[in-house]
Amino acid sequence: MNELDVVLRTGEFISKKTIKEHLGNAGIGKGDRIIVHTSLKKVGWISGGEQAFVEALLETVTADGTVVMPAQSSDNSDPRHWMMPPVPEEWHEPIRRTLPAYDPHLTHLRGMGKVPECLHRHPKTVRSPHPAHSFITWGRDAAEWMRDHPLEDSFGEGSPLGKMHGSGMKILLIGTGYDSCTALHLSEYRAPGLETYRDGAAMLVGGERKWVEYDMADLESDDFPPLGMAFEREHPEAVTRCKIGQADTRVIDMDTLVDFGVAWITKWREKKKVAQAEKAE
């Protein structure tokens, strides 16, 4: 969808003031901790675009609050796993040798959208040190939550997600669905039966660029939408539906969702194991 299409689909004028009013109507205010996923095109044409949107978020929660967004650079990974697009096998080793080391300031965000890219440019934003699965944070918890991000714990207890759990975090899905809900990866990590595969990334180690291999969790977000629907049936009190701009939006209690997700994924993995065993017979 190009910008003209967005303009034509936007029924009423939207500004930063509009977004702030809608955030307030959604129960977002000073001091809130929020992790935000946004489809800007679904929001509609905004005067000032992503900058106005980001400023609305920051001015709403203020410096007493915290704004978090995923900032993944998934192409800093072993090229043998690349699918969108794949690259010739003979390129794999040269890529491992030449891919630039992760830099929290320079490394781009792959497929995250305009809003996280804009927040990344803010001088007070802090980015976590994971080379492929980083987060960016602005506000009172930024330094503490982003300080450490273990290489083999992309979305687990030692990750920013693990630190957010128990803090009263609110998830905002603005024009997006549960398939975009990064917090559910914490549920995957906590559920028994998590499998891993060997991955790698270019990193600075002792001031030197090195290719570092590590065990990466085998994550499956394809099942997040049915998980989310089951969650809403069982915990309607934990989800507020509203509009931000023109975008259908959910405001979700992160702790309740993650805890539900652990139980749901545990049952799903057990069913999958049984099905695989029956198929093998």
**For 56-104, what is each residue's pLDDT tens digit?**
999 999 999 999 999 999 999 999 999 889 999 999 999 999 999 999 9
Residue 83: per-residue pLDDT: 87
Residue 206, H or E segment: none
Task: Give me 57's structure tokens.
Answer: 């978020």
Question: Phi first, then psi: what are they for 177, rounded to 5°?
Answer: -115, -175
Sign of CA dihedral 204, 205, 209, 215: negative
Place of tokens 């805890």: 259
The arithmetic mean of pLDDT across residues 185-198, rounded, is 95
- Amino acid code (one letter) for 168: G
What is the b/e burial string over 58-88, where b = at least 16 CB atoms within 10 angstroms of the residue's CB? Answer: bebbeeebbbbbbbbbebbbbbeeeeeeeee
Reading the block at residue 12, the tokens are 């009423």
How far apart (Å, rounded) are the C-alpha atoms in residues 195 and 111? Answer: 25
Q: If 0-12 CB within 10 Å is exposed, 13-18 middle and 19+ buried, where does residue 231 land?
A: buried
Residue identified by tokens 């959910």 is 250
Tokens 């320079």 correspond to 106
Per-residue pLDDT for 147 more than 90?
yes
Lowest mean pLDDT segment, chosen from 20-34, 68-82, 153-167, 266-280: 266-280
pLDDT for residue 10 is more than 90: no
- Please check the confidence at residue 274 and state whether its pLDDT lies above 80: no
Answer whether residue 265 shows pLDDT above 90: yes
Q: Which residues of 205-219 are buried (b: 16+ CB within 10 A; e: fewer)?
A: eeeeeebeebebbeb
Q: With 80 as the cut, is the pLDDT of residue 8 above it?
A: no
Q: What is the share, in percent, of the chain residues with pLDDT greater than 70? A: 99
Residue in this structure with the two tokens 């499956």, named with its chain if needed: 220
Residue type at 13? F
CA distance 135 to 37: 12
Q: What is the mean pLDDT of residues 253-265?
A: 97
Per-chain mean pLDDT for the chain: 95
Q: Is the pLDDT of residue 273 over 90?
A: no
- Please give the structure tokens belonging to residue 151: 């290489």
CA distances from 252 to 37, 51, 61, 232 (A): 12, 24, 16, 10
Nearest to 196 by CA among 135, 154, 258: 154
If one counts every other C-beta atom within 10 angstroms of the C-beta of residue 156, the result is 17
Distance between CA atoms of 111 and 72, rounded to whole angstroms?
Answer: 8
Find the mean pLDDT for residues 252-264. Answer: 98
- pTM, 2 dp: 0.93
Percentages helix, strand, coil for the chain, rounded to the nearest 5? 40, 20, 35
In the structure encoding, which two tokens stand for residue 140, read together? 């009172």
